[in-house]
Amino acid sequence: MASVFERSSSSAKRVLSSKMRFTSFVSLAVLCSIAAAVPTAPAPKDCSAEVAKYNMERRAARGLSKRTFYSQMLDLTCALSPEATLEDYTANPPIRTDITEGQPGVAFTLDIGVMNTSTCKPLPNAMVELWGPNAVGAYGTTFLRGATKTASNGIAEFQTIFPGFTSEGANHLNILVHPTASESSGVAHVGQLFFTDPWTDVVSQYTDYNKNTNHRMKNSADPVFAAANSGGVNSIVDLESINDDWPEGIIGYITVGVNPTKLVA
């Protein structure tokens, strides 16, 4: 009898704990559906809670929270970003994580988390292409271009330099995401990654950024920035400086939401 009681009691415990898990899952799902029910058009899934957690875990893992201009996390949501047009693009960039190729500038480590917006879960084995201008705001044929695939945790990490601004838009980097680990597979996202103006202001004072003769456009003047940062979408890279020895380098975090089954190119 005692053993029957024990069995039933432990199975009751299992039911209880699975119910608790189920309850917390349901309340999250309810929040998501409320958020999604507000706009009249079908809205992309709201992964903001998952993105915030994902970003905090990545920050914590690096343990580099010494000096930053912004002590709070930016509003990080992963609703599907609107697609940007391909700009200064060269297809099939080399597969490499360090795309610096000797370009002088402030070292920039960029942690890009790719999330499946159907599930709000990290997307492994997605090929991420990254390209950007050098310190004086010029794109090259090979430098500062590359591609790498996301690891099992959905992260593609690049080593590059903080970009110098071009005259075409607010300071940004360019990104393209293939949902599978091949540069020749379809494209799930084309976008631009931005920075808050004070970061660009500060970096612009350093060599060789101070030789940049392009016209500086602030974020508020760029329609691409506006489109990529409205309706619950954020495309501003969250930045912090590495150690106290600014400008030793900057580390940036961004989460990009893609729908792997909806190709844009």
Ligand X SMILES: *[C@@H]1O[C@H](CO)[C@@H](O)[C@H](O)[C@H]1NC(C)=O
Chain contacts with ligand X (rule: CB under 6 A): 116, 118-119, 123, 179, 260
Choice between 154 and 164, CB closer to ligand X: 154
- Closest contact distance (angstroms) between CB of 246 and ligand X is 38
For residue 212, the Cα-to-chain-centroid distance in whole angstroms is: 26
DSSP string, 156-225: EEEEEEPPPP-SSSBSEEEEEEESSS-TTS--SEEEEEE--HHHHHHHTTSTTGGG--SPPB-GGG-HHH
Choice between 16 and 151, CB closer to ligand X: 151
- Mode of pairing for the β-strands spanning 250-258 and 107-116: parallel
Choice between 138 and 181, CB closer to ligand X: 181
Angle of helix 48-62 relative to helix 2-37, nearest 10 degrees, comes to 110
- Closest contact distance (angstroms) between CB of 121 and ligand X is 7
Nearest to 263 by CA among 189, 191, 192: 189
Nearest to 224 by CA among 194, 204, 195, 196: 194
- Closest contact distance (angstroms) between CB of 126 and ligand X is 7
- Closest contact distance (angstroms) between CB of 69 and ligand X is 35
Task: Say how many C-beta atoms besides its own lie within 10 A of residue 43's C-beta.
Answer: 15
- Closest contact distance (angstroms) between CB of 43 and ligand X is 16
Choice between 80 and 123, CB closer to ligand X: 123
Contact 156, 150 (CB under 8 A): yes
Contact 145, 131 (CB under 8 A): yes
- Closest contact distance (angstroms) between CB of 123 and ligand X is 6
Give the position of tokens 């099992």: 152
- Closest contact distance (angstroms) between CB of 124 and ligand X is 8
Choice between 44 and 179, CB closer to ligand X: 179
Choice between 128 and 135, CB closer to ligand X: 128
Choice between 152 and 220, CB closer to ligand X: 152
Residue closest to ligand X when measured from CB atoms: 118
Contact 197, 219 (CB under 8 A): yes
